[in-house]
Amino acid sequence: MPQDAHCESRLVAELKQIVGEAGLLTGSDVRLRSCDPFRPIPIESPAIVRPASVAELSRVMALCSALGQRVVIHGGRTGVSGGAFAGADELVISLERLNRIEEICAVTYTAVVQAGVVLEALQNAVAERGMLYPVDLGAKGSATIGGMIATNAGGNRVLRWGMTRQNLLGVEAVLADGTVVSNMNRLLKNNTGYDLKHLFIGSEGTLGIVTRAVVRLVPAPVSQSVAFVSVQSYRKLLALLGLARRLVTLSAFEVMWRDYYELVAASGSGRRPVEPAQPYYVLIEALGQNKELDEKLFEQFLVGAYEEELVADAVTATSGKQVAELWRVREGSEVIVREFGAFVSTDVSIDLRHIEEFLARLKSLLQTRYPGVRTATFGHLGDNNIHIAINVGPDTIGEESNVERLLFQAVGEFAGAITAEHGIGRLKREFLPEHRSPAEMGVMRQIRAALDPAGLLNREVLFRTGEGS
Amino acid sequence: MPQDAHCESRLVAELKQIVGEAGLLTGSDVRLRSCDPFRPIPIESPAIVRPASVAELSRVMALCSALGQRVVIHGGRTGVSGGAFAGADELVISLERLNRIEEICAVTYTAVVQAGVVLEALQNAVAERGMLYPVDLGAKGSATIGGMIATNAGGNRVLRWGMTRQNLLGVEAVLADGTVVSNMNRLLKNNTGYDLKHLFIGSEGTLGIVTRAVVRLVPAPVSQSVAFVSVQSYRKLLALLGLARRLVTLSAFEVMWRDYYELVAASGSGRRPVEPAQPYYVLIEALGQNKELDEKLFEQFLVGAYEEELVADAVTATSGKQVAELWRVREGSEVIVREFGAFVSTDVSIDLRHIEEFLARLKSLLQTRYPGVRTATFGHLGDNNIHIAINVGPDTIGEESNVERLLFQAVGEFAGAITAEHGIGRLKREFLPEHRSPAEMGVMRQIRAALDPAGLLNREVLFRTGEGS
């Protein structure tokens, strides 16, 4: 935002001409919003623009482009990597009024949605028609489809249906100069030139502002089988995953390490489905379309796992209440909050073959510096994605960036990913160049410079761009 | 290739220094190769360079870049859109010596392959380890992984496993200036910056030369069930597809229209599994991991289809020989060749809801101009992809581009894709701007100009680039 008060008021006046009174928030309406889901981090921008149509957004960006005005794009503000942080010289553009589900089709299994549609609203609308949008995550009550596209959101069932990228057919976006690029493809097979949607998916709002999308749907499952098992060794855990991969209905393979399970099982919350006597615990879920046969498939898988002696102990559930209770063991983050107080939350991907070595190395690095370190380890093993909650003592928050540096050192040694699903945002930006090669960083810069030469879109996200970068 | 003989010999001499004698073909070794799989179309280039390593290829491109030398990239030369055509002023780069399978891992279900690996070689190598690379197509004996990545190849089982794009984790490519961009990700979840592989997938060799890839594997199926059914109406056909979508083992839903089936059934080839009395015929295939229960699932699906009166007549098969015989009905292209002689082959995607209207419109356009037109219509209905073989009389070959113009006019009226899986290449280039918006064409040009400003890579493919474009 130009600091000159005259320029600022000119900008606000011109924006109001485009989006009207209802389309512009200023003053305390801006100040009362946080741009982080866990901590109150105020938006420093002088204004939030809320276009009610793609045409309005296009005019807003043409104006910003003419004035060299930088913008930060807001979806549901559920991201944990600081992608929504907005400074005093940045204008916030919120997609919240572009929140219409335009079409749901049970023949083509597609839905056309605007970027501001909240995930749960889409889930509910398609469920009424017997379908499922397979991307699911904890923040579904706030996260928007546009934000999920910009960050290529993952979640619990990536093993079966993939991340957001795999569940999109078309995307429309507004470029920094206001150009509307509509790539609203509805066809499963389409090789007519570059598949432009992939530029916008996962680029964290740095190449364009996602406005609409065509998403893929699948039939809503009619059966759900869940087993909770304990496993004696990492070798057996990998063998169990190998067996589970042959279950065509497999939808989740969620692993909890001993440090996590003992914490949750001892918490007095009644979440202790099996004896806490083994190093690994797994929640295995299957979702299918034929209740009777799906249960048999699942049963035969478990029998096989017993016969091959891959499982020490097991309980199973097929009713909604029991299933929910088993999932609650996996979703014990509030127990970690209670037991650890503050903790550093992590989101890394590591090659399956090296996860145990990686964890040993990480713990050794942490213990050297923080002898009292405590961890709780869990994750989506089939996706290579593990989360480790780390507490290093009373000053855990103050030590966050030091802990992350040790974590990312270990990730680098095992050629892992410093972010599996949360994204780089502003908070991990300094680490990005250490985990992508100079050639890769070069191509990223070239692409960004081609689409947004002045660096107006989410300028502080991923890597610095534009003047003085 | 610079026309100046001195420059040319300098180029050849310098290339030989990089790739050695074995790495360079000239004269009749070039002339004897065709760059089209169906017609003898000679390569006009003075030389074919065959680097034996990524480092050699990088040096070749650095040299070409310094000299402004344009190149055409060759995989298995099985593409049908002219992507491999090479003129006298273009140097051919063949990836044929980069043909090593570097690694196959049954824990992570991934393989690391060089671009010149032939699809069938990969299929066989992973089958020995109990796994499947799910992309399959007729040209598997020649098509290379690199070429399949560059063209985002599809095939028969896209409905279940997606196209090439959905089966890749990482890609390495050499840019026009020789820079090696290695994005050899092996992790299912990785949001660490832009996902650069998607730039190279499906961009038909215009943004970089694919050299290596990490592909995803799935467990090799142990059961195969196939049904061949006839259907009375398009409404019932869509309902049958809807029911089939709820079969978790579904791997193919291949529809043949009456014009196709009558041709094949009357051909005396014994391919007539059901009475030719209905407008639609469908081959439905399921692949699974539990022989006994998979067959029950398939049986219950068929019983459901009968109960809902979606199927007029049906035969099923679960043994290898019977299954192969049913697939032969669907793979009757040699019957079309015999009956039609020459025909225009097409590869379009149309919204499922409008395929019948589209076909009616196309036939009306064709009949107005060619009263004796004959068609044979079949396709991957679940993927929206239909192929129509069109014969307009003795001069069908001469009329090819006029027939295509009518076809693409109809495709445009129904917002379809002029190429579902074959790509644009050189042969459909003139049609591309009519089927992507000016804004989309603009972004494609910006991206290409950013990565290959001089237009050295496959310059005549997709859209003209570089000087005089």
Q: What is the CATH number of the domain that holds B125?
A: 3.30.465.10
- Taking an 8 Å cut-off on Cβ atoms, the answer to whether A248 and B249 are in contact is yes
The answer to whether A275 and A396 are in contact (CB under 8 A) is: no
Lowest-confidence range among A382-386, A444-448, B62-66, B277-281?
A382-386
User: If pLDDT is split at 50, 70 and 90, which confidence band does A468 have?
Assistant: very low
Assess B135–A contact: CB distance below 8 Å, yes or no: no
Q: Are residues A274 and A286 in the same domain?
A: yes
> Looking at residue A221, what DSSP letter applies?
P
A300·B290 Cβ contact <8 A: yes
In angstroms, the CA B184 to CA B112 distance is 9
- Gyration radius (Cα) of chain A, Å: 23
In Å, what is the CA distance from B186 to each residue of A151, A158, A415, B156? Answer: 19, 15, 9, 25
- In this complex, which of B107, B247, B439 lies closest to A352 when CB atoms are compared? B107
Considering only CA atoms, which of B315, B65, B307 is closest in space to residue B179? Answer: B65
Judged by a CB distance cut-off of 8 A, whether residue A201 touches chain B is: yes
- pLDDT score for B467: 54
pLDDT greater than 90 at residue A7: no
- Best A186, A192, A250 residue to mutate vs chain B (most B CBs within 10 Å): A192
On chain A, the residues whose CB falls within 8 A of the CB of B423 are: 191
Other Cβ atoms within 10 Å of B337 Cβ, number? 12
Q: Which residues of A touch B419 (CB under 8 A)?
A: 190-192
Domain enclosing residue B277, as ranges: 223-331
Is residue B188 a contact partner of residue A384, using CB atoms and an 8 Å limit?
yes
Option in B158, B191, B296 nearest A422 (CB): B191
Q: Are residues B326 and B405 in the same domain?
A: no
Q: Does A433 touch chain B (CB under 8 A)?
A: no
Q: ipTM more than 0.90?
A: yes
Provide the b/e sequence for B204-228 (b: ≥16 CB within 10 Å): bbbbbbbbbbbbbbbbbbebbbbbb
Which residue, B159, B140, B146, B135, is CA-closest to B201? B146
Residues 6+ apart with CB under 8 A from A217: A104, A109, A110, A111, A126, A131, A132, A133
Whether residue A15 is found in the same domain as residue A87: yes
Q: Is the pLDDT of residue B75 over 70?
A: yes
Q: What is the CA radius of gyration of chain B?
A: 23
| Residue A343 pLDDT greater than 60, yes or no | yes
Instruction: Residue B272: give its domain's CATH number.
Output: 3.30.70.2190
Q: B141 and B71 in one domain?
A: no
With respect to residue B108, please indicate whether it lies within any of the assigned structural domains. Answer: yes
Question: Residue B404 has what DSSP assignment?
Answer: H
Task: Show residues of chain A in contact with B414, CB under 8 Å.
Answer: none
- Is residue B50 within 8 Å of B25, Cβ to Cβ? yes
Distance CA A89, CA A71 (A): 9
Looking at the domain assignment, is residue B126 inside a domain?
yes
At residue A328 the predicted structure's pLDDT band, cuts being 50, 70 and 90, is very high
Q: Are residues A118 and A214 located together in one domain of the fold?
A: yes
* Same domain, yes or no: B209 and B227: no
* One-letter identity of residue A375: T
DSSP A144: B
Q: How far apart are the first and last CA of chain A?
A: 18
What the block records as the tokens of B417 is 């894709």
Which residues in B lie closer than 8 A to residue A195 (C-beta atoms)?
A: 152, 165, 198, 201-202
The span from the CA of B344 to the CA of B9, in Å, is 41
A188:B159 CB<8 A: yes
Q: Which of B179, B188, B212 to mutate to test binding with chain A, by most A CBs within 10 Å of its CB?
A: B188
Task: Among B108, B245, B440, select the one facing A352 at the smallest CB separation.
Answer: B108
d(CA A393, CA A342): 9
- Provide, as residue numbers in chain B, all residues whose Cβ is less than 8 Å from the Cβ of A194: 202-203, 443-444, 447, 462
What digits encode the pLDDT tens for the residues B361-403? 999 999 999 999 999 999 999 899 999 999 999 999 999 999 9
| CATH code for the domain of A390 | 3.30.70.2740
N residues, chain B:
469
Residue B441 lies in a domain: no
In this structure, the answer to whether residues A317 and A338 fall within a common structural domain is: no
Q: Are B78 and B107 members of one domain? A: no
Q: Under a CB-based contact definition with an 8 Å cutoff, are residues B423 and B84 in contact?
A: no
Residues B398 and B296 in one domain: no
A39 φψ region: left (φ > 0), alpha (ψ -120 to 50), beta (else): beta
Q: Look-up: residue for tokens 């010596």?
A: B97
pLDDT tens, position by position, B253-289: 999 999 999 999 988 778 899 999 999 999 999 999 9
- Calpha distance B132→B289 (Å, rounded): 12
- A21-66 tens-digit pLDDT: 999 999 999 999 999 988 889 999 999 999 999 999 999 999 999 9
Coil vs helix vs strand at B24: strand
Q: Are residues A248 and A302 in the same domain?
A: yes
Q: How far apart are CA B304 and CA A290, in angstroms?
A: 12
Q: Judge if B10 and B31 occupy the same domain.
A: yes
In a domain, B447, yes or no: no
Report the percent of chain B where pLDDT is more than 90.
Answer: 90
CB B420 within 8 A of CB B385: yes
Tell which of B201, B219, B237 closes a domain.
Answer: B219
Answer whether A224 touches B (CB < 8 Å): no
Stretch B179-205: mean pLDDT, rounded? 97
B108 touches chain A (CB under 8 A): yes
Say if the Cβ atoms of A382 and B437 lie within 8 Å.
Answer: no
The answer to whether residue B460 sits within a structural domain is no
Whether A235 is in a domain gets the answer yes
Compare all CA atoms of chain A with the CA of B221 and give the residue at the minimum distance: A246
Query: Tokens 């957004």 belong to which residue?
Result: A57
C-alpha to C-alpha distances, A65 to A23, A210, A454, B445, nearest whole angstrom:
19, 17, 8, 20
Q: Does A194 touch chain B (CB under 8 A)?
A: yes
Number of domains in chain A: 4
B432 vs A186, A192, A450: nearest CB:
A192
Determine whether the interchain pair A300/B288 forms a contact, defined as Cβ–Cβ distance below 8 Å.
no
- Here the tokens at position B169 are 């984790």
Token pair listed for B431? 């049609």
Among residues A348, A469, A319, which one has the least CA distance to residue A411? A348
- Inter-chain residue contact B165 with A195, CB threshold 8 Å: yes
**B206 in a domain, yes or no?**
yes
C-alpha distances (whole Å) from B137 to each of A318, A401, B6, B82, B126 are 40, 50, 44, 18, 16
In a domain, A347, yes or no: yes
Distance from first CA to last CA of chain B, Å, rounded? 18
> Could you tell me if A107 and A204 lie in one domain?
yes
Percentage above 90 pLDDT, chain A: 90
Of A331, A363, A387, which residue is a domain's last? A331
Tell me the per-residue pLDDT of B27-36, one tens digit each, with 9 for 90 and over: 999 999 999 9
Q: Which of A219, A248, A282 is the last residue of a domain?
A: A219
Could you identify the residue written with the tokens 């560059």? Answer: B150
